[in-house]
Amino acid sequence: EVQLVQSGGGLVQPGGSLRLSCAASGFSFGDYWMTWVRQAPGKGLEWVANIKPDGSAKYYLDSVKGRFTISRDNAKNSLSLQMNSLTVEDTAMYYCVRDQGCRGPNCFSYYQLWGQGTLVTVSS
């Protein structure tokens, strides 16, 4: 079955760190750009970061640059998001998604395959 299964997340204090993971199966993970999208409670969707198939290029939302790091291990079919210096504004459901139909060197694309989501709550 083609799927993305997420883990990690939880409650963390402001300034803290958290690592999200995403396990891919049923497709050739190393052939795809991968992305993290988040959704604050009751709000819309927001692109966070993406990574090239070989991991050689990574792009970030301005507000998370320098704090979040996206990475992948193609041998283990896994995607990660290391989140440091978290603020209350980072509170959201985070989705691991597979890019589809990439346009341009930064891979502007739509999202066919989504993980189930993992909740990150930043609160004191």
Partner 1 sequence: EIVLTQSPGTLSLSPGERATLSCRASQSVSSGYFAWYQQKPGQAPRLLIYDASSRATGIPDRFSGSGSGTDFTLTISRLEPEDFAVYYCHQYSYLRTFGQGTKVEIK
Contact residues for partner 1, defined by CB under 8 A = 43-47, 95, 100-101, 103, 108-112, 114-117
Cβ nearer to partner 1, comparing 76 with 103: 103
Residue 97 CA neighbour count, 13 Å, CB half: 24
Q: What is the closest distance, in whole angstroms, from the C-beta atom of residue 34 to partner 1 in the complex?
A: 14
Q: What is the closest distance, in whole angstroms, from the C-beta atom of residue 53 to partner 1 in the complex?
A: 18
- Token pair recorded at residue 13: 């204090």
Contact 47, 63 (CB under 8 A): no
Helix (H, G, I), strand (E, B) or coil at 120: strand
Q: What is the closest distance, in whole angstroms, from the C-beta atom of residue 93 to partner 1 in the complex?
A: 9
